[in-house]
Amino acid sequence: MATASEPTPVDAPMPVDPVPDLVPARMLNEFAYCPRLAYLEWVQGEFADSVDTVEGRFQHRRVDQPSGELPEALPDGAEAATDGEAPGRIHARSVTLSDESLGAIARIDLVEGRGSEVTPVDYKHGKAPDVPGGAWEPERVQLCLQGLLLRANGYACTEGMLYFVESRERVGIPFDDALVARTIELLQDLRRVAAAGQIPPPLVDSPKCPRCSLVGICLPDEVNLLSAPDQPINRDDLRRLVPSRDDALPLYVQTQGAVVGKSGDLLEIKLKGAVLQKARLMDVSHLAVYGNVQVTSQALRELCARNIPVCYFSYGGWFQGITSGMAHKNVELRCRQYAVAMVPDASLPIARRMIFGKIKNCRTLLRRNHKEPPPAVLAELDRLAGHALTAGSAETLLGIEGAAARCYFSELQGMLKDDSLVFDFQGRNRRPPRDLVNALLSFIYSMLIKQAMVTALAVGFDPYLGFYHQPKYGKPALALDLAEEFRPIVADSVCIGLINNGEIGREHVISRGGMVALTQNGRRKVIEAYERRVDTTITHPMFGYAVSYRRIMEIQARLLARHLLGEVRAYPVFRTR
């Protein structure tokens, strides 16, 4: 845990104005439902799909297509020239209106009426609820704001309609004084909360959370538990809201000369015109290509549009770069990250806990896998972990980590069942690795750092500015930080498993001039083993629910963001048991 003497840099004021110009009517709906949800979506730019959001888009597909005309409103007292006929009927879909004085904007699903008397119609994908007023407050205030925007643009609007697609039912919502006042009040509250630059706290044990598409980003129960450091964590109070595994998984392509192209909603991997494999874009979390693999501009554009990163590796497995779509909109988080990372006294407490977690996880792996766990080494790792929590500088912490690494790797051979010279490990070496064990470790570490970088980008961080690893040209310092806790329990565990299970041997390596590299078949086996490991579910030692290592890394990154934004006192290090 953090000590009382540690600074609280996350309390520093925001250096940017977080308030966008106009409030979308949809955000008023979200704010009435949950202020934290509106802040996450509108200010921090977070979004994630759920069954409800996908179904809602599908049911909106017709009204989202602009059609019909909304005639210009007439000035007060003016009458339309109709040659004695009734004013024409208005039936306009997907109409966008805004007003600077209200400070709001809306895309109205449907506007009906005659002349200057109009009615907004908002489509909802569920059934009409049996509640007073005919609908829940979030839907009513969203519709009322649409009506106020129509009024501000010169139309007469006294009521709106909610159309519930599932029950095919229209519910009329009169815009009375009470609803208008409530709508204006919520609109002002939303702008005030956004301007304060402080995310609202999570709801407590709310039934709204399980169906929320952003629950895995918000982490309501986890943040509530960790925000009270003086209270013991009771895992019985925490609901299982975070999915155990990701639906989308990485796609690896290492066949030299292959071309990754796009065909509809599929990625196609071809070699000399022949299709080797197809993958649905919705099932791909990121694309990893090794060596001379081409990605067509059509595929690259679609991957960027869907925020699916492309990671580039050398033929031998060195992580060389990444292509991603538009940067995450969470400027607030990056400002906090920069402010903390550039002040040693502010970043050191985070770095201490990361290295503490890494050393503790090294000790756990030794206890689990060593033939005869040496008590002296376990005690030394325990001692160094304690010193890591009290290191007075980044240089001291670096020395502690180095001492722990030497101690840990001195016993790595004792975790290997195969004692042959093929797996003779005399210590860590790299650039280039000089034996098979080091070649395995280097290759797996590169995949782990790739995963950490993809995670950092998805959360909204700048992956090149860390809290422990120092900035250096081309060095993904934050990705290296996030990977520290997972090096022993994911990467080293994969290496040990490959050797002890007989999945890899001399035939999977190439030796040239003292350098050892994996063959293409060897890399394939390592990739398969790595993916099995990160997809393995374990019981989270702090929260008690079953979750995969891949998902845990994302949770850690999001909890780091919550710490930087002032919601969690200390970065909650991940320690397996």
Question: Ramachandran region of residue 566, left (φ > 0), alpha (ψ -120 to 50) or beta?
Answer: left
Which CATH class name applies to 23-71+88-196?
alpha beta
| Cβ–Cβ under 8 Å, residues 120 and 147 | yes
Tens of pLDDT along 206-228? 999 988 889 989 999 999 888 87
pLDDT reported for residue 77:
47
Of the candidates 394, 388, 365, the one whose C-alpha atom is nearest the C-alpha of residue 377 is 365
CA distance 256 to 213: 39
Cβ burial 324-338 (10 Å sphere, 16+ → b, else e): bbeebbbbbbbbbbe
CA distance 393 to 487: 23
| Cβ–Cβ under 8 Å, residues 24 and 577 | no
| Cβ–Cβ under 8 Å, residues 99 and 152 | yes
CA distance 394 to 469: 9
pLDDT reported for residue 422:
54
- The DSSP output letter for 72 is P
Query: Model-level pTM?
Result: 0.84
CATH for 338-564 is 1.20.120.920
| Cβ–Cβ under 8 Å, residues 441 and 428 | yes
| Cβ–Cβ under 8 Å, residues 339 and 465 | no
Question: Where do the DSSP E strands lie in 13-88?
Answer: 23-24
Show the tokens assigned to 410: 């001195």
Structure confidence at residue 38 as a pLDDT band (50, 70, 90): very high
pLDDT reported for residue 140:
95
Q: Which of 95-99, 232-236, 242-246 has the lowest mean pLDDT?
A: 232-236
DSSP-assigned beta bridge partners for residue 161: 121, 172
Of the candidates 402, 44, 358, the one whose C-alpha atom is nearest the C-alpha of residue 350 is 358
Tens of pLDDT along 392-442? 999 999 999 999 999 998 888 888 886 655 566 666 767 777 788 888 898
Q: Could you tell me which residues come within 8 angstroms of residue 9 by beta carbon, excluding any fewer than 6 positions away?
A: 339, 340, 343, 345, 346
Phi then psi for residue 205, to 5 deg, are 50, 40
Of the candidates 218, 146, 113, 68, the one whose C-alpha atom is nearest the C-alpha of residue 565 is 218
| Cβ–Cβ under 8 Å, residues 109 and 119 | no
Q: Could you tell me which residues come within 8 angstroms of residue 508 by beta carbon, excluding any fewer than 6 positions away?
A: 518, 519, 521, 522, 525
Strands 117-124 and 104-114, sheet pairing: antiparallel
Of the candidates 209, 227, 208, the one whose C-alpha atom is nearest the C-alpha of residue 217 is 209
Q: Which of 84-88, 384-388, 542-546 has the highest mean pLDDT?
A: 384-388
Of the candidates 92, 98, 77, the one whose C-alpha atom is nearest the C-alpha of residue 21 is 98
Domain spans of the chain? 23-71+88-196, 249-323, 338-564
| 234, pLDDT greater than 80 | no
CA distance 413 to 435: 13
- The DSSP output letter for 37 is H
DSSP helix/strand/coil, 256? coil
CB-based burial label for 395 (10 Å; 0-12, 13-18, 19+) = exposed
pLDDT reported for residue 198:
87
pLDDT reported for residue 339:
95
Find the farthest-apart pair of alpha carbons in the chain and give their distance in angstroms, rounded.
101
| Cβ–Cβ under 8 Å, residues 502 and 378 | no
pLDDT reported for residue 2:
37
For range 490-507, the mean pLDDT: 88
Structure confidence at residue 361 as a pLDDT band (50, 70, 90): very high
CATH for 249-323 is 3.100.10.20
pLDDT reported for residue 451:
93
CA distance 436 to 442: 10
| 110, pLDDT greater than 80 | yes
**Sign, CA torsion 462/463/464/465:** positive
| Cβ–Cβ under 8 Å, residues 353 and 574 | no
Show the tokens assigned to 453: 């970088």
Query: Which H helix or E strand runs over 377?
Result: helix 375-388
Strands 117-124 and 159-164, sheet pairing: parallel
Show the tokens assigned to 479: 């990705």
Give the C-alpha distances (Å, rounded to integers) separating 431 from 258, 290, 443, 453, 515: 27, 18, 11, 21, 9
Q: What is the distance between the terminal CA atoms of the chain, rounded to a whole angstrom?
A: 17
CA distance 154 to 377: 79
| 282, pLDDT greater than 60 | yes
List alpha helices for 392-460, DSSP H: 394-409, 436-459
Of the candidates 139, 137, 157, the one whose C-alpha atom is nearest the C-alpha of residue 147 is 157
For range 60-72, the mean pLDDT: 70
CA distance 122 to 416: 64
Helix axes 520-534, 436-459, angle to 10 degrees: 50
| Cβ–Cβ under 8 Å, residues 63 and 109 | yes
- Site of tokens 């205030």: 141
CA distance 452 to 463: 9
Q: Which of 462-466, 498-502, 515-519, 520-524 has the lowest mean pLDDT?
A: 515-519
On average, the pLDDT of the chain sits at: 86
| Cβ–Cβ under 8 Å, residues 470 and 512 | no
Q: Could you tell me which residues come within 8 angstroms of residue 431 by beta carbon, excluding any fewer than 6 positions away?
A: none
